[in-house]
Amino acid sequence: MATVNTASNEGLAPIIPPTLSQPISVSDITVGHALTSEAAAIASIGADTFTATFGFSVSAEDLAEFLATTYSEVSVLADLKDPAVQTWTARDATGKVLGLVQLVRGISEPCVPGDPATHAELRRLYVDTTAHGRGIGSKLIAAVEDQARAEGFKELWLTVWEHNPKAERLYQRLGYKKYGSTDFLTGACVQTDHVLSKSL
């Protein structure tokens, strides 16, 4: 489920081409590097989406511990300062954050094909539940893929919970293939994630 932020962190990507989504017009959506001023919004979307997707599968104590360490504003700000991690956000015309994704360098899984030095991870693709089905996730993925290619990475990998077939189908439609599995810890709870990868 991994990101780099530099001084160019404040820049915005070009406007994303329009789609037929409603009520948010895709012409009103931009994808760009996450801003430190967006840390609270990123933390909120991360916590809300994680809870909605996985919360039922772990104890309240494990969930609370995980959210406190992973989706607090402090942890988001730490990610934004980490040179191995780059975070993008999708914003509507008012600047509201609707989704996020991360590119993580210098990490791999043993089952991912090829030289680990040429691997990068796509991590934490989350879209606000009110904006699902509008193609925002695909646009965020495209931003990470473009950056990974530009940096010369050959494989972009990710993990997806074994009980989240909807997300896995999205990745497979975009060319990702399953190569193995790995453990994912939520507090003391150990769950299984599938490892998917795409050649760039």
Q: What is the pTM of this model?
A: 0.83
Every domain of the chain and the residues it spans: 7-158
- The domain 7-158 is placed in CATH, from the list 3.10.180.10, 3.90.1170.50, 3.40.630.30, 3.30.70.1400, at 3.40.630.30
Q: What is the pLDDT of residues 158-196, one digit of tens each?
A: 999 999 998 999 999 999 999 999 999 888 889 999 999
> For residues 129 and 114, what is the distance between their CA atoms, to the nearest angstrom?
35
CA distance readout (Å), 26 to 91, 110, 141, 144: 10, 38, 15, 18
The packing angle between helices 73-81 and 39-54, to 10°, is: 110
Residue 168 gets the label, from left (phi > 0), alpha (psi -120 to 50) or beta, of: alpha
Q: What is the pLDDT of residues 29-72, one digit of tens each?
A: 899 999 999 999 999 999 999 998 888 889 999 999 999 999 99
Percent above pLDDT 70 for the chain: 86
CB burial of 180-195 (b: ≥16 within 10 Å; e: otherwise) equals eeeebebbebeeebbb
Q: What is the pLDDT of residues 95-115, one digit of tens each?
A: 999 999 999 999 999 999 999
